[in-house]
Structure 1
Amino acid sequence: MSVFAFWLLALAIYALVALLGGRRLLPIVGQLLVAALAIPTLLLAWVEPHWQLGAADLLEPGWLSLAYDLCFALLLGYILSDVIDLDLSPACLKIALPSFLVPMLAGLACALWLLPGERGWLGALGIGLLFSITAIPVLYLFLQSIDYPQEASKRLLHAAILMDLLCWSLFGLAQGSSHPASLLWPLLAAALPLALRLFRLRHPLLYSLPFFALMLLFQQLGLNALVFGIAYMLCLGWIKQPLALPLPERAWKLLLNGLAVPLILTCGVLRVDFHGLGQDYSWALIAALLVLPVLSKVLGSWLGLHWAEPGAAARVKWHQSLLLNIRGLTEIVFLNLLLQLQLIDSPIYFGLLLMSLFSTLLPALLGRHAHHNEARSRYEVS
């Protein structure tokens, strides 16, 4: 009963922060703050000494594993649904390639040089791709909140979609390469939209309900849900079939922000051994995980923006580079996937979780209205 009470209390804390933050605080920022600060404090200051429960006890219930798989499938499906909106242009490609490659190479170097232990090439690739990710939903909300120029917003968003498509696709294929047979069923199932179109079925729910149901099924069976999700979205994009969420937008956001994201974040944080956090890795390494992804991503994005628009003002390019460095929800899902596959351990997870919070807050900390005013002046002149 105490375990169930903890989870109710944790969800209540997330809900309270969301309520207090209101429109002034992006949902993922409040959720990251709770995960990084409130949950460890609750565990160490109250649950362990007073309830005599450790993190392992809180993660033990069978219903929690099922709830986690359900939430993870819904969240991963929601994020992958952005792939269908990809609209390639030369400028988008020029921005995306350096913004993807520079941090990925920095992440690979970091994994191979700074992080001890035998992680294998898949773990190193996962960390490299994690350096490259941009959170599309959070970037969209941030650009909306500062009334960013529409054309510039569209270019940044489509560059972010292309980068994330590269990240998810490379990791999914790399993960499946060790067991090629495991890709067969996900790829066959991903062709379902083509079969539905042959029967002239057009109702959006006939495409979205099977998608989320199969995401959960593959997650439960341990098959490659990631490859399925990407291939399914590419098929939908090819036949020009929009994906409609199976719930109204308000109910869907309530489900994700009220249950899915808090549960996934809390499960990840509870796997961190806070008592021995500084023993396996030095605090200098944790600090490097906080700084190196940000520096490499901003540098790569600046190079891409300079390639796409050499004549743009340097300050505008730096500000847009900070916006493309936003991590948030997409990185959290990827980070939990690496932890779930045991490709990273809990101290690295916590260091990169703090990096995600720092990256998401950075544009606001450096003056978000400056981004809007200077960018608007740039595009009004052009």
Structure 2
Amino acid sequence: MESAARERTGRTTLRRVLVGTMLIAVPAVVVVVVLGLGSAYEPVAGTAAKAASAGPDTYARLLVALPVILGACYLAGVLAKRLGQPPVIGEIVAGILLGPSLFGLVWPGAFGWLFPGGVVSAINILAQLGLIFFMYLVGSEIDLDAVRKRGFTAATVSQVSIALPMVSGIVLALGMYPVFGGDVGFLPFGLFIAVSMSVTAFPVLARILTDRGISKTPLGALALTCAAVDDVAAWCLLAVVVAVSQGGAPSEVFLTVGLTLVFVVLMLYVVRPLLVKVLARVPEPAVLAILLGGIMLSALATNEIGIHALFGAFLFGVIAPRKDPVVARAAGKLGSVTLTLLLPLFFAYTGLHTEFSLLGSGSLWLWTLAVTAVAVFGKWAGSTTAARLTGVGWRESLSLGALMNCRGLTELVVLNVGLQLKVISPTVFAMLVIMTLVSTIATAPALTLIAKFGKKSEKDSEKTAGPAAAESR
């Protein structure tokens, strides 16, 4: 009885195994046969598809390029800090060295493998996204109360430090235009050269003041206020340049400028109070999402108006609430990603478009020297003279002139806009990048020299005038 039951159970098990095997094997055989028959057919675009698949894997190459860029920028930033420079200087230099000026020249095969066209395009998209986030952070850090409190001195110094470089830049553009103007009209070319001469980098200047421990001194506070006013004026002037270069007919230019003014009024008197109310009522996790959405929509609005997307992001930062700790924490999260990941990609993208080999002749290097000299003299002389005329001492006035000469990252952003608009050629771009590096790197050593000789002159005057004069001072 038991043996018969076991036999029936065995037969049932065997039948189930055979059925299961057939259910798997038969469909598999059918699939293989059909695929074999179908392989005889070739799609019309088969050759193009194979060529596309044979190209570099952009995603994989990007995952290799990103750590290389971040590592190079970090190491260069550490080295720059040890040399007494802000880390952003090292990051800018690292981005340039990764480009065709060094890496592409020394090892062209590896350069082409690491930065094929698809990877460069992806880096550009990420860099542009990082720039609009960075411009929001710059706008949000401008202390509007300090600007109002130091109104007269700050306004005078900042406006003269813009006006004199712009005048000298226009004169310089008159000489450069016959050689480097190309197909661009003189008006956009001259305006752009003038604007590039008048820029001050508010974020880099703030970092220099903090590193030297003078950000809370009267000189530091005045320099930050003047740089803030300069930043606002620079982006407004750049918006005019973009409008002129893209507008075509005068009526279109006036339309772009008019729409920009309307946008500014709406942001100040409609979006700003609405944003304050909304951010006060939503939960904290939603604050960052609202800020990100506002940044991108503001950037889109100015881009559609006909000026650069950066202006919209900057203005959104200016109107964003400043004293709300929830907003400050959200901005901190945004800043950590932007400064750590996205901005180094902008430096790399700038480096990929900077070719110092274009400056191959002695005459081009003489033009580069002239551009640098005009930029440094115009900014330093304008800032120093204006500060002295408003009652600031000589040493502080000279120090303020040195600080206002710091161009840094803001200048690179402006230069990239000009290159994208084709207002300047790659050769002029390389000249202006060198001017940016020289004027920014010279800021910290110039401050040290001014402080050193200023103290020495004070001691000498005390010895000459006697102890009574020193005591009266």
Could you state the TM-score of these two structures normalised by the residue count of structure 2? 0.67
Q: 1:193 aligns with which of 261, 272, 281?
A: 272
After superposing the two structures, state which structure 1 stretch, 1-10 or 144-153, moved more: 1-10
Which residue is 1:91 aligned to?
Answer: 153
Given that 2:205 and 2:403 are in contact with CA atoms closer than 8 Å, whether structure 1 keeps it comes out as yes
Residue 364 of structure 1 corresponds to 444
Q: 1:138 aligns with which of 204, 221, 227?
A: 204
Q: Please tell me whether the aligned partners of residues 136 and 313 of structure 2 are also in contact (alpha carbons under 8 angstroms).
A: yes
Q: CA RMSD in A?
A: 3.8
Match of 1:338 among 418, 426, 440: 418
In our comparison, the structure showing a higher alpha carbon Rg is 2
Contact 1:134 1:325 in 2 (8 A): yes
CA distance 1:112–1:265, shift in 2 (3 Å): farther
Match of residue 290 from structure 1: 372
Which sits farther off after the overlay, 143-152 or 318-327?
Answer: 143-152
For residues 435 and 398 of structure 2, what CA distance do their matches in structure 1 show? 19
From 77, 90, 93, the equivalent of 1:18 is: 77
1:128 match: 194
1:171 lines up with 2:238 in the alignment:
yes
Contact preservation (8 Å) 2:165, 2:382: yes
| SS at 1:344 equivalent | coil
Kept after mapping to 1: 8 A contact 2:296/2:313: no
Corresponding position of 1:27? 87
Which shifted more, 133-142 or 205-214? 205-214
The 2-side partners of 1:37 and 1:133 are apart by 24
Distance 1:218 1:243 in 2: 26
2:354 match: secondary structure? coil
Deviation at 1:322, TM superposition (A): 0.8
**Aligned amino acid, residue 147 of structure 1:** G
Letter in 2 for 1:135: A
Higher mean displacement: 294-303 or 18-27:
18-27
Name whichever of 343-352 and 33-42 sits farther off. Answer: 33-42
Say if 2:105 is the partner of 1:44. yes
Q: What's the offset of the Cα at 1:374?
A: 4.5
1:21-75 deviations in Å (ceiling 9; x for gaps): 45654121111221344543112111x24465597x3466553343122112112
The answer to whether the Cα contact below 8 Å between 1:189 and 1:228 also exists between their aligned partners in 2 is: no
Q: Residues 54 and 140 of structure 1: is their aligned pair in 2 closer, same or farther, counting only changes over 3 Å?
A: closer
Equivalent in the alignment of 1:150: 217
Q: Is residue 161 of structure 1 aligned with residue 228 of structure 2?
A: yes
Deviation at 1:226, TM superposition (A): 4.1
In 1: Cα distance, 2:207 partner to 2:295 partner: 24
1:366 alignment partner, SS class: helix
Q: TM-score with structure 1 length normalisation?
A: 0.82
CA deviations 1:355-376 (Å, max 9, x no partner) are 222112213233527538958x
For the structure 1 residues 22 and 160, does the alpha-carbon distance in structure 2 shift closer, same or farther, using more than 3 Å as the test? closer
Structure-2 change in CA distance of 1:222 and 1:300 (3 Å): same
Contact 1:103–1:293 at 8 Å: present in 2 too? yes
Q: Matched residues in 1 for 2:305 and 2:118: separation?
A: 19
Instruction: Return the alpha-carbon distance in structure 2 between the equivalents of residues 99 and 188 of structure 1.
Output: 27
1:75 aligns with: 134
Q: What CA distance in whole angstroms lies between the structure 2 residues aligned with 1:59 and 1:268?
A: 16
**Alpha-carbon contact 2:96-2:350 (below 8 Å) kept:** no
- The Cα offsets for residues 61-92 of structure 1, whole Å up to 9 and x where unpaired, read as 55334312211211222223344533352111
- Structure 1 unaligned spans of 5+: none
Distance 1:269 1:243, change over 3 A: farther
Mapping of 1:233-312 within 5 angstroms?
Answer: 233=317, 235-236=319-320, 244=327, 247=330, 249=332, 251-278=333-360, 282-309=364-391, 312=393
* Comparing 271-280 and 160-169, the one that deviates more: 271-280
Compare 223-232 and 259-268 and name the one that shifted more: 223-232
- Give the % identical residues: 21
CA-to-partner distance for each residue in 1:228-256, whole Å, 9 max, x for gaps?
Answer: 3455456558x99899456463x545433
Q: Which moved more, 1:225-234 or 1:286-295?
A: 225-234
How many residues were matched structurally?
A: 374
Q: Deviations over 1:148-201 (max 9, x none)?
A: 262221111111111221111122145346243694795587342233456794
* Structure 1 residues 254-281: Cα deviation after superposition (integer angstroms, max 9, x where no partner): 4333322221122122123454443697
Q: Any conservation in 1 of the 2:167–2:194 contact (CA below 8 Å)?
A: yes
**Which range is displaced more, 127-136 or 111-120?**
111-120
SS at match of 1:282: helix
Letter in 2 for 1:31: E
Which residue is equivalent to 1:324?
404
Distance 1:99 1:75, change over 3 A: same
Q: Give the counterpart letter for 1:119 in structure 2.
A: V
RCO higher in 1 or 2 (8 Å CA, sep ≥ 6)?
A: 1
